[in-house]
Amino acid sequence: MKLAVVAVALVLVLSGCSSSADADAASAPTASASAVSGLGSVKDEGAIPDPCTLLSKAEVADLTGRQVSQVDEDGQAGEGTRYCQWQQPSGQLDVFLSRTTESDFKIAIADAQPVDGVGEDAFSLSGHLYVLYGTVSIDVYSRGDSDEKNLAVEKEIAKVLIPKI
């Protein structure tokens, strides 16, 4: 009797392990070249990536025309707002990523200026460029040049970020 119980328990454990391992392997994310994480895009769902991993210091220097002296990371993972700040001797670059809905993003804000040519929708307000990409709100703030040049830099940075999100 004890031997039969042990045999049944062993069969259950072994069959449970193999089906669990097979299920885990089948549900494991596959690598993708479309996002830096290698796990695919988080455009519509998934954990918001750390913006500091999406742009290297060299990319920031190339895009802004200013060297990076320090990087300040948010140090948090998950669904909330993520940010990274690249300090520069004569300016700075900030990137904030968070979840939103199209209707929340389109709420009319006084003094917001529509911006064409980047993302699904975009506007500029108080020196920040806000871009909608699926359910991700991208907030890019560049300081160190004229307002016009800062906006041009923000647009280029958003265009570089979108395929990495």
Residue range 19-31, pLDDT digits in tens = 333 333 333 333 3
Q: What is the mean pLDDT of residues 37-43?
A: 56
Distance CA 165, CA 153 (A): 18
Q: How far apart are the first and last CA of the chain?
A: 58
How large is the angle between the packed helices 57-64 and 147-161, nearest 10 degrees? 140
pTM for this model (two decimals): 0.73
Q: Which two tokens stand for residue 112?
A: 């917001």
Q: Which two tokens stand for residue 114?
A: 């529509």
Q: Do 115 and 129 touch, CB atoms closer than 8 A? A: yes
Return the top range by mean pLDDT from 37-41, 51-55, 77-81.
Answer: 51-55
- Helix then strand then coil, % of the chain, to nearest 5: 35, 25, 40
Q: What is the mean pLDDT of residues 93-119?
A: 92
What average pLDDT is seen over the chain?
Answer: 79
Closest CA to 95 of 74, 69, 68: 74
Which alpha helices (DSSP H) does 28-163 contain, by range?
Answer: 57-64, 102-105, 147-161
> Domains plus CATH for the chain?
51-164 (3.40.1000)
Q: Do 51 and 94 touch, CB atoms closer than 8 A? A: no
Distance CA 93, CA 163 (A): 19
**Amino acid 28: pLDDT:** 32
Strand bridging mode 121-125 / 113-114: antiparallel
> What digits encode the pLDDT tens for the residues 123-150?
999 999 999 999 999 999 999 999 999 9
Q: What is the mean pLDDT of residues 45-56?
A: 88
Q: How many helices (H) and strands (E) does the chain have?
A: 4, 7
